[in-house]
Structures are given as C-alpha cells and as structure tokens.
Amino acid sequence: MKTFTTILFWLVIAVSVIQFIPMDTTNKSVKKSENFVDVLNTPSEVQEILKNACYDCHSNETVYPYYAFIAPFSWSVKSHINEGREHLNFSEWTTFNKDLKQGMLANAIEEIQQKSMPMAAYVPYHPKANLTDAQRKILTNYFSEILKSSKF
Ligand code: HEC
C-alpha cells in the first residue's frame, strides 16, 4: 500500500509539473490571397464541411479543444496539428507548387473515400466531423472538379 501511495504521489506531482510546459496555440494569420477557399471561391456548402472536418489540423484557423490544454494529451494534439499542416495547409494553398497541390488534392480524395480522414481519434470529440457519405461525396467531387479543371 505504501509503494502504491508513493507512486500515486509522484504521478500527481509529475502530471502537475508537466502542465507548466508551454505550448504555442497561436494561429498564424490567414492571408486571403493564399487561402484555398478565397482563391478558388469555394461554395459555402463545401467550406462548411472543410471547416468542420479538416481545418483544425489542416489550416491556420485551428480551434483548440479543451483537452488540448491538458498535458500529456496536448502533446498529441499539437503533434497532429503540426504534422497535418505539413501535409496539407488550406490557409497557405498558393504557397505550394502545382505538383504539390495536385498531390494534396489527389491524396485528399483518397483519404476521404477510404475514411482515413478526418482522423478517427478526432471524430468522437467533434460530432460535426463525423461526415455522412453524402458530405464525403460533396468534398471529393469538388476536389476532382478542381483537379480536372487544372485551376490550381
Ligand atoms: C485531428 C487532425 C486531423 C484532421 C481533423 C484531419 N486530418 Fe488529415 N492529416 C492529419 C495528420 C496528422 C496527417 C499526417 C499523417 C497521416 O497521413 O496520417 C494527415 C494527413 C492528411 C493528408 C496527406 C496524406 C498523405 O498521404 O500524404 C491529406 C490529403 C489529409 N490529411 C486530408 C484531410 C482532409 C481532407 C480532412 C478533412 C476531411 C482531414 N485531413 C482532417 C490530421 C488530421
């Protein structure tokens, strides 16, 4: 019992201490001239799906959930955001070259169809990201249209 109490004591101390490790949750400002939905004049229906299901990890308009402020969960959230933005950042769309954009759109279609995106761990905490098949179709149709039109 004594060992258990000691372990619990140090665990509480450790969890408390890690709360003080600073985490950067500021978003870079979004320039209209670089922003996917502004540049492509994306229909509002598509914009809404993107905002609800993709923006938290693939844009500079991340809304941090409450658990993003509790270490160690916050570390996992932040790493998903950093990694997500590296793969695809809708807010910095025009900064990517044509090949990268083409790859991002093609990958996005695949990920949405295979239901790999939005990330499974994210959806239970974000009911609006639980996309219906119809919403998935709207997104993939839109991305395919852009790919075909080579407007990117
Ligand atoms: C909770 C965070 C999160 C959300 C929400 C999310 N993604 Fe991702 N996404 C990631 C991470 C992390 C990666 C990189 C690791 C991986 O591929 O699993 C990624 C990778 C990707 C990639 C690159 C895949 C590749 O093969 O290079 C695409 C495309 C993508 N996401 C599209 C989307 C789309 C479209 C949505 C919305 C329908 C979305 N994601 C929602 C976190 C997220």
Could you report the per-residue pLDDT of 87-118, keeping only the tens digit for each? 999 999 999 999 999 999 999 999 999 999 99
Instruction: Judge if the beta carbon of residue 53 lies within 6 A of ligand 1.
Output: yes
User: Mean pLDDT, the chain, as a whole number?
Assistant: 96
Taking the CA of residue 107 as reference, the ligand 1 atom at the shortest distance is 29
135 C-beta closer than 6 A to ligand 1: no
Q: Cα–Cα distances in Å, from 51 out to 14, 74, 121?
A: 36, 21, 17
Q: In angstroms, rounded to a whole number, what is the distance separating the alpha carbons of residues 140 and 152?
A: 15
Predicted confidence at residue 98, as pLDDT, reads: 94
Q: Among 58, 125, 144, name the best residue to mutate to test ligand 1's pocket (greatest count of ligand atoms within 8 A of Cβ).
A: 58
Q: What token pair was written down for 117?
A: 């995106």
Q: How many residues does the chain have?
A: 152
Neighbours of 9 (CB within 10 A): 10
pLDDT of amino acid 151: 76
Q: Is residue 152 predicted with pLDDT exceeding 90? A: no
Task: Supply the pLDDT for residue 40.
Answer: 96
What are the tens digits of pLDDT across the range 52-67?
999 999 999 999 999 9
- Rounded to whole angstroms, how far apart are CA atoms 24 and 29? 14
The pLDDT, as a whole number, for residue 107 is 98
Which residue has its alpha carbon closest to ligand 1 atom 13? Answer: 84
Is residue 20 over pLDDT 90?
yes
Q: Please tell me if the CB atom of residue 84 comes closer than 6 angstroms to any atom of ligand 1.
A: yes
pLDDT at residue number 76? 94
